[in-house]
């Protein structure tokens, strides 16, 4: 089966927020990503609005042609925004330390009743729900129990591991993917993936989607730098020539 790429545009917004300007626009980045072949766009509306804001979410909903995946915490405020925006999918992620497992994913086992209510409210409105979890059988089984149709396996530990420790983390992600798919869940993965470490995760047969942001934004900054400097020099020289 083919594997989809969902591009997370959060850090385009981080760059915008660093100056309080209206550029670079994460919406524009989303359009470029889709033209380049991305199958979907992911944006995380954080409670503190540190990068993506409410306007971005509304406009992304209008312009994204593939899957629009809204990442958010399982709070009442975010639930109301999701129900009003109607993204194709909501991925519930932890924002506070007490909502996380030691691996950094959502602790579905501990918060089962609360998550069942939020997932139920979203599903009733036709929004598919994914849970960002560690690849542990207990978290996967709890995700199914609360009504999620998808799990996104947290690849952060794998990505941040030293090279000689990586294969053990890759194996546990592969085992988790198999377990989740066997239970009937759609399987995605993400966090910390780069050109250098994506291979073993993209090769997991049960994994049908990757969510990647920071590395793509970073590569875009560096690979676009030459062109940006040349464009600025040309604008400066044109001004001198016109004097």
The CA distance from 238 to 191, in Å, is 43
Which listed range, 19-27, 196-204, 206-214, 230-238, lies at the site for ligand PXP (CB under 6 A)? 206-214
Query: Is position 152 an interface residue for ligand PXP (rule: CB under 6 A)?
Result: yes
| Structural contact between residues 174 and 204, judged by C-beta atoms closer than 8 angstroms | yes
Residue 196: helix, strand or coil by DSSP? coil
Which listed range, 20-28, 121-129, 165-173, 212-220, lies at the site for ligand PXP (CB under 6 A)? 212-220
Q: How many CB atoms lie within 10 A of CB 121?
A: 16
Q: Looking at beta carbons only, is 136 or 211 nearer to ligand PXP?
A: 211
Q: Looking at beta carbons only, is 26 or 213 nearer to ligand PXP?
A: 213
Binding letters toward ligand PXP, positions 28-57, x by CB under 6 A: ----------------x-------------
As beta bridge partners, residue 133 has 153
Q: Report the site for ligand PXP in 160-189 (rule: CB under 6 A).
A: none
- Residue from 16, 43, 91, 111 binding ligand PXP (CB under 6 A): 91
**CA angle at 235 for the pair 230 and 239, rounded to the nearest 5°:** 145
Burial state string for 4-43 with b = 16 or more CB within 10 A and e = fewer than 16? bbbbbbbbbbbbbeeeeeeebbbbebbeebbeeebbbbbb
Q: Which residue in the list 6, 39, 44, 51 is annotated as catalytic?
A: 44
CB of 240 to ligand PXP, least distance (A): 41
Query: Is position 128 an interface residue for ligand PXP (rule: CB under 6 A)?
Result: no
Q: How many CB atoms lie within 10 A of CB 148?
A: 29
Which listed range, 33-41, 172-180, 205-213, 221-229, lies at the site for ligand PXP (CB under 6 A)? 205-213
Q: How many CB atoms lie within 10 A of CB 190?
A: 24
71 is catalytic: yes
The footprint of ligand PXP (CB under 6 A) covers 8, 44, 71, 91, 93, 132, 152, 190-193, 211-215
Give the residue numbers marked as catalytic: 44, 71, 191
């Amino acid at each position: 089966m083919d594997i989809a790429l969902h591009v997370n545009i959060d850090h385009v917004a981080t760059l915008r927020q660093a100056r309080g300007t209206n550029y670079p626009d994460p919406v524009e980045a989303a359009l470029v990503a889709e033209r380049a072949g991305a199958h979907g766009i992911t944006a995380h509306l954080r409670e503190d609005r540190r990068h993506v804001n409410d306007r971005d979410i509304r406009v992304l909903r209008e312009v994204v042609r593939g899957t629009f995946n809204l990442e958010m915490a399982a709070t009442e405020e975010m639930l109301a925004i999701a129900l009003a925006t109607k993204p194709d999918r909501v991925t519930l992620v932890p924002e506070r330390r007490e909502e996380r497992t030691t691996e950094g994913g959502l602790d579905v086992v501990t918060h089962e009743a609360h998550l069942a209510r939020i997932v139920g409210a979203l599903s009733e409105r036709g929004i598919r729900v994914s849970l960002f979890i560690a690849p542990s059988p207990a978290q996967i089984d709890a995700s199914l129990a609360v009504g999620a149709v998808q799990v996104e396996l947290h690849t952060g530990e794998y990505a941040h591991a030293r090279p000689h420790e990586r294969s053990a983390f890759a194996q546990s992600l592969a085992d988790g993917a198999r377990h989740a798919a066997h239970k009937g869940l759609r399987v995605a993965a993400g966090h910390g993936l780069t050109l250098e470490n994506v291979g073993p995760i993209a090769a997991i047969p049960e994994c049908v989607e990757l969510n990647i942001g920071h590395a793509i934004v970073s590569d875009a900054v560096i690979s676009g730098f030459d062109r940006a400097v040349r464009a600025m020099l040309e604008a400066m020289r044109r001004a001198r020539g016109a004097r």
